[in-house]
Homo-oligomer: A and B are copies of this chain.
Amino acid sequence: MPEIKVFKVHYNEKQEQIIISAEKLFSEGGFSGTSVRDIAQEAKVNVAMISYYFGSKEKLLEAVFEYRILGTAIQLENIVANDKITPIHKIYSLIDHYTDKLFNNQCFYKLMLREQLKQMENADLLEIIYKSKKKNLDLISNLISEGQAKGQFRKKIDVSLMMSTLFGASNQVFFNQPFYRRINGLESMPEDEFQILLKKRLRLHLKNMFKAILTHEL
């Protein structure tokens, strides 16, 4: 029996195929709605290989999360650490960064949202997610404090509500694209063109909103 892999390992080619396929299918059909056979077929590997490499379907899900979260955590720190720009522009940069990630990793964010809706009985997975969130939140908190210290942001900001607004609004817009199309009569616009338009509008909206709540005395 192969040792069940935990954290920070390098996956071989087959394993990566499996993870990518799982991410895609889990995001589309949900965890229970996707069978390991489907994943094996998508990844063009033998069914038994999934149990063999990851131990179980559950463990595969963890691997997917771990793979993406560890793979994308670093950039945020660079933004916050950058001395050259003002706090509000760091916020703008943050918005650009998150919307980019969201639009580029649709599968994964869908999957993450999905899993958050479960009462996650899977404690390991929950811990991975919490840790990642906490780290991000701390970084943003520092950024806000910096703005407040410089007198550019107003006092009394609930950072976690603010971040929830950023993520929640973005997700909501993102996962309601078909509805947004219909409402605004954009059914016939090509997919990529539409996504560019939507991202632009979303960013503008978010930036306006964050400027308002961060800088105006209300």
Chain A contacts to B: CB under 8 angstroms: 1, 27-33, 37, 47, 110, 113-114, 116-119, 130, 133-134, 137, 158, 160-162, 164-165, 167-173, 175-176, 179-180, 182-184, 201-202, 205, 208-209, 211-213, 216, 218
Contact = CB atoms under 8 A, between A and B. Distances in A.
Given A30-B114, A33-B118, A130-B182, 7 more contacts: A28-B118, A32-B32, A32-B33, A165-B205, A167-B172, A209-B213, A212-B212
B133 A179 contact: yes
B160 A116 contact: no
Given A1-B37, A130-B182, A218-B212, A118 B168 contact: no
13 contacts: A30-B117, A32-B33, A33-B118, A113-B117, A117-B175, A158-B201, A161-B173, A161-B202, A165-B165, A165-B169, A165-B209, A168-B170, A216-B216
B117 A114 contact: yes
B28 A30 contact: no
A157 B141 CA distance: 29
Given A30-B118, A47-B1, A161 B201 contact: yes
Contacts of A171: 168, 172
Contacts of A208: 213, 218
A174 to B, nearest CB: 9
Of residues A114, A130, A205, which shows the largest number of chain B Cβ atoms within 10 Å of its Cβ? A205
Contacts of A160: 179-180, 183-184
B183 A137 contact: yes
Contacts of A158: 201, 205
Contacts of A201: 158, 161
Nearest to A41: B1
A27 B114 CA distance: 11
A1 B47 CA distance: 8
Nearest to A170: B168
A29 B32 contact: yes
